[in-house]
Amino acid sequence: MKEKLALLKLLADETRLEILNLLLKEDSYVEKIACTLSLTPATICYHLKKLEAAGIVRCARTQFYMIYSLNREIFDLPLSALIQKESPAEDPDEKYRREVISHFFKYGKLTQLPTQRKKREIVLAEIARSFVPDRKYDEKEVNDIIHRYHEDHCTIRREMIACGIMAREKESYWLI
Amino acid sequence: MKEKLALLKLLADETRLEILNLLLKEDSYVEKIACTLSLTPATICYHLKKLEAAGIVRCARTQFYMIYSLNREIFDLPLSALIQKESPAEDPDEKYRREVISHFFKYGKLTQLPTQRKKREIVLAEIARSFVPDRKYDEKEVNDIIHRYHEDHCTIRREMIACGIMAREKESYWLI
DNA sequence: ATAGTGATTTGATCAAATTCTAATCATTCT
DNA sequence: AGAATGATTAGAATTTGATCAAATCACTAT
């Protein structure tokens, strides 16, 4: 990733683009480029050295001049190849989930039920982990478990059913 | 050219690349992205607005959130399409030539014959413009014409022949 | 050798861009 | 209407990067 970013940074400069356009037409050398672009040789050298370090140009000494030339293979890459990470990286949903949980739970207690639907679902799903799948609970059991997280077990129990985490039939509750 | 440069500048930022990578996986919204990248919503908004202005992302309001999504067509471009100017622009050789001439000629006089071959050829070619093609000159004529530019007409006459601008046979000189 | 010329490095300066905090705007829910 | 929440804007601080002048290096030619 860092390499791709570095390459993009190199290309994202007007002077360097001008230099590359000149080299696209023909090999050249510092003073000539400087003269063409109305900049000092020091500046051109600064840019050429950067481009050289990235493998975009090469240079070789001739009699008087240091002749710079393009390494043309690089430019066949599609843009998409430069913006995509190679490493899959962490799931952003999972990171977001952890942030929400650490925000709404303090010392294992739910401080407040989020009003935002997405956040509320995350919080409710976290509480639901205290229930065993496929087991049936009566209402008192459900309330007691939820009560470990928050006073208002009724609201939370109702919400868990409303958003499809739990199901209820008669006196019986279970995870979905 | 400026548009391409602007596009490259947009892509050449770590935060924006991260954002694009997230949007590549799925549409998202400001707060969620901010949370994932551990940055403030203000910062994410700043970047998304830039990307939107360039047509790289779009956004649409849903219930609560402003959902941002990628405009994927852009990324099929090859890099070469981004570094090349569309306008042919001025010939760099011509610009260089003018610079050399203005450096070595003052008030129409040659101040000094450059020792660098490339520059010397440019200077000699400039002097050669005072000769008419296909006409024969004797040595005195040649010397007089050159003398308008510089005292040392002998050296310059010799150089013009040495670098193939003029030819000589017996007493006769002419442009090549 | 030594003068001349082009290339490079160094150090300083200046401009542009990112990021944050705080304030404001826009929308939804009660 | 007003309370809550997400998005956006404004302003300030910081960082990054381009440019130049001057000094130095590397090579060529006299």
Domains of chain A: residue spans and CATH: 2-83 (1.10.10.10), 92-175 (no CATH)
To the nearest whole percent, how much of chain B has pLDDT over 70? 86
Q: Report the pLDDT value the prediction gives residue A91, as an integer from 0 to 100.
A: 63
Query: Is the C-beta atom of B120 closer than 7 angstroms to strand C?
Result: no
Nucleotides of chain D within 7 Å of a protein C-beta?
4-10, 17-23, 27-30
3-state class of A13 per DSSP?
Answer: coil
User: Which pair of tokens denotes residue B35?
Assistant: 């949370």
Residue A164 CB neighbours (<10 A): 10
pTM, to two decimals: 0.61
The amino acid at residue A170 is: K
3-state class of A134 per DSSP?
Answer: coil
- CB environment B66-94: b (16+ within 10 A), e (fewer): ebbebeeebbeeebeebbeeeeeeeebee
Task: Compute the distance between CA of residue A68 and CA of residue A74 in angstroms, rounded to an integer.
Answer: 16
User: Which pair of tokens denotes residue B41?
Assistant: 């919503």
* A90-104, B28-42, B133-147, range with greatest mean pLDDT: B28-42
Q: Report the pLDDT value the prediction gives residue B157, as an integer from 0 to 100.
A: 86
Confidence of residue B132 (pLDDT cuts 50, 70, 90): low
Query: Is the C-beta atom of A9 closer than 7 angstroms to strand D?
Result: yes
Q: How far is CA B101 from the centre of its chain?
A: 20
- Partner residue facing B95 (CB), from A36, A84, A116: A36
Q: Report the pLDDT value the prediction gives residue A50, as an integer from 0 to 100.
A: 92
State phi, psi for A75 to the nearest 5 degrees. Answer: -80, 5
Q: Is B21 on the interface with A (CB under 8 A)?
A: yes
Q: Which long-range contacts (CB under 8 A, 24 or more apart) does A141-149 make?
A: A141/A173, A142/A166, A142/A173, A148/A108, A149/A105, A149/A108, A149/A109, A149/A110
pLDDT greater at residue A1 or residue B58: B58
Q: For B84, which residue in chain A has the nearest alpha carbon?
A: A21
At A132-172, the pLDDT tens digits run: 666 677 787 787 777 767 777 888 888 888 878 888 887 77
At A66-98, the pLDDT tens digits run: 889 888 877 777 777 777 766 545 566 666 777
Residue numbers of A between 57 and 116 with CB closer than 8 Å to B: 64, 74-80, 82-85, 89, 92, 95-96, 99-100, 116
- A107 sits in the region (left: phi over 0; alpha: psi -120 to 50; else beta) called left
State phi, psi for A25 to the nearest 5 degrees. Answer: -80, -45
- Region of poorest pLDDT, from A59-68, A165-174, B12-21, B106-115: B106-115
